[in-house]
Structure 1
Amino acid sequence: MVVRYVVSPRGGRRAHSDIASALRAAAARGRAAEIEIAPGRYEEFLDVRGDVRLVAAEGPGSVVVGLPRGPVLLAAGSVTLHGLTLAGRESVVAGCHAGTLTLEHTEVWAHGGVGVHAPPGTSVTLRDSVVAHGRTLFTGSVGLVERCRFTDAADNAVAVIEGAQVSVLGSRIEGSRIHGLRVSDARAEVVGCELTDTGQAALMADARARLTVADCAITSVHGEGIMFIEQSRGSVDTTTVTGARHGIAAASGADPMVRGCVLTNCRDTGINVQTAARGRFEDCRILDAGNVAVFVSDGGTPEVHDCHISGGNVGVAVTEGSRGRFSGLVVEDLTNSALRVWTGSEGLFEDVRVDRCTLGLDTKGDGGTTAGLTDVVFHDFETAVTALGQSRVTLKGVTAERGGVGFFAGEEAQLLVHGCEVASVSIGGAGVSGRAKLSARNLTVNGSEGTGLVASESGYLDVGDSDFNGCAGTGATFADESGGRLVACSVDGTRGPAVLHNGRVELVSLRTTRPVVRKTVRTVEQTPTIINNYAGPVINGPVHNSQFAWNNDTATQNQTTEDGPAHE
Structure 2
Amino acid sequence: MVARYVVSPRGGRRAYRDITSALRAAEARGRAALIEIAPGHYEEALTVRGEVRLAAAEGPGSVLVSRPRGAVLDAFGTVSVHGLTLAGRDAGVDIVGCHTGSLTLDRTEVRAHDGAAVHARPYTSVTLRDSVVLYGRTVFTGSVGLIERCRFTDAADNAVAAIEGARVTVRGSRIEGSRLHGLRVCDAHAEIAGCEVTGTGQAAVVADTRGELAVVDCAISATHAEGIMFIEQSRGSVDRTRVTDALHGIVTKSGAGPVVRGSVFADCRDTGINVHDAGLGTFEHCQVLGARNVAVFSTKGGAPEVRDCRVSGGNVGIAVTDDGRGRFTRVVVEDLTGTALRVWNGSEGVFREALVERCTLGLDTKGDGGTTADLSDVRFRDFETAVTALGQSRVTLRDVTAERGAVGFGVGEEARVAVHDSTVTAVSVGGAVAFGKGRFFARNLTVNGSEGTGLTGSESGYLDVADSEFTDCASAGAVFADQSAGRLVDCAVNGPEGTPAVLDNGRAELVSLRTSLAVVRKTVRTVEQTPTVVNHYTGPVITGPVTHSQFSWNNDNVVQQQTEGDDSQP
TM-score bracket for the superposition, by shorter chain length: over 0.9
2:29 aligned with 1:29: yes
Q: Specify whether residues 87 and 562 from structure 1 end up closer, same or farther in structure 2 by C-alpha distance, changes over 3 A only.
A: closer
1:421 partner SS: strand
**Gap runs ≥5 in structure 2:** 531-559
Cα distance in 1 between the residues matched to 2:223 and 2:529: 74
AA of the residue aligned to 1:22? A
2:187 aligned with 1:174: no
Q: 1:272 matched to which residue of 2?
A: 274
2:485 aligned with 1:508: no
Cα distance in 1 between the residues matched to 2:342 and 2:99: 55
Alpha-carbon RMSD across the aligned residues, in angstroms, is: 1.8
Deviation at 1:265, TM superposition (A): 0.1
Q: 1:367 matched to which residue of 2?
A: 369
Q: 1:548 matched to which residue of 2?
A: none
Deviation at 1:522, TM superposition (A): 3.8
Deviation at 1:561, TM superposition (A): 7.1
Q: 2:4 matched to which residue of 1?
A: 4
1:13 partner SS: coil
AA of the residue aligned to 1:45? A
CA distances 1:434-457 after superposition (whole Å, capped 9, x unpaired): 111000000000000000000011
Q: 1:46 matched to which residue of 2?
A: 46
- Listed as ranges, the matches of 1:70-109 within 5 Å are 70-90=70-90, 91-109=93-111
Contact 2:243 2:266 in 1 (8 A): yes
- Listed as ranges, the matches of 1:15-414 within 5 Å are 15-90=15-90, 91-414=93-416
Deviation at 1:496, TM superposition (A): 2.2
Cα distance in 2 between the residues matched to 1:479 and 1:136: 72
Deviation at 1:322, TM superposition (A): 1.1
Deviation at 1:560, TM superposition (A): 11
AA of the residue aligned to 1:214? V
Deviation at 1:277, TM superposition (A): 1.0
AA of the residue aligned to 1:43? E
Deviation at 1:105, TM superposition (A): 0.1
CA distances 1:522-553 after superposition (whole Å, capped 9, x unpaired): 459799xxxxxxxxxxxxxxxx99xxxxxxxx
CA distances 1:506-534 after superposition (whole Å, capped 9, x unpaired): 0000011111011112459799xxxxxxx
AA of the residue aligned to 1:357? C
2:191 partner SS: strand
AA of the residue aligned to 1:242? T
Contact 2:300 2:322 in 1 (8 A): yes
Q: Which has the larger radius of gyration?
A: 1
Cα distance in 2 between the residues matched to 1:75 and 1:487: 86
Q: Specify whether residues 562 and 393 from structure 1 end up closer, same or farther in structure 2 by C-alpha distance, changes over 3 A only.
A: closer
Cα distance in 1 between the residues matched to 2:443 and 2:524: 30
Cα distance in 2 between the residues matched to 1:265 and 1:492: 48
2:384 partner SS: strand
Cα distance in 1 between the residues matched to 2:525 and 2:15: 117
Cα distance in 2 between the residues matched to 1:138 and 1:501: 77
Number of residue equivalences: 536
Q: 1:519 matched to which residue of 2?
A: 522
1:423 partner SS: strand
Deviation at 1:236, TM superposition (A): 0.2
Cα distance in 1 between the residues matched to 2:146 and 2:159: 15
Cα distance in 1 between the residues matched to 2:293 and 2:5: 63
Cα distance in 2 between the residues matched to 1:526 and 1:60: 97
CA distances 1:93-144 after superposition (whole Å, capped 9, x unpaired): 1000110000000000001100000011111000000000000000011100
CA distances 1:217-269 after superposition (whole Å, capped 9, x unpaired): 00101010000000000000000000000001101110000000011000000
Name the TM-score, length of structure 1 as normaliser.
Answer: 0.93
AA of the residue aligned to 2:180? I
Cα distance in 2 between the residues matched to 1:182 and 1:264: 22
Cα distance in 2 between the residues matched to 1:479 and 1:44: 92
Cα distance in 2 between the residues matched to 1:230 and 1:462: 48
AA of the residue aligned to 1:309? V
Bigger mean CA offset, 272-281 vs 488-497 = 488-497
Moved runs in structure 1, 4+ residues, more than 3 A?
A: 522-527, 559-563
Name the TM-score, length of structure 2 as normaliser.
Answer: 0.92
Identity %: 70
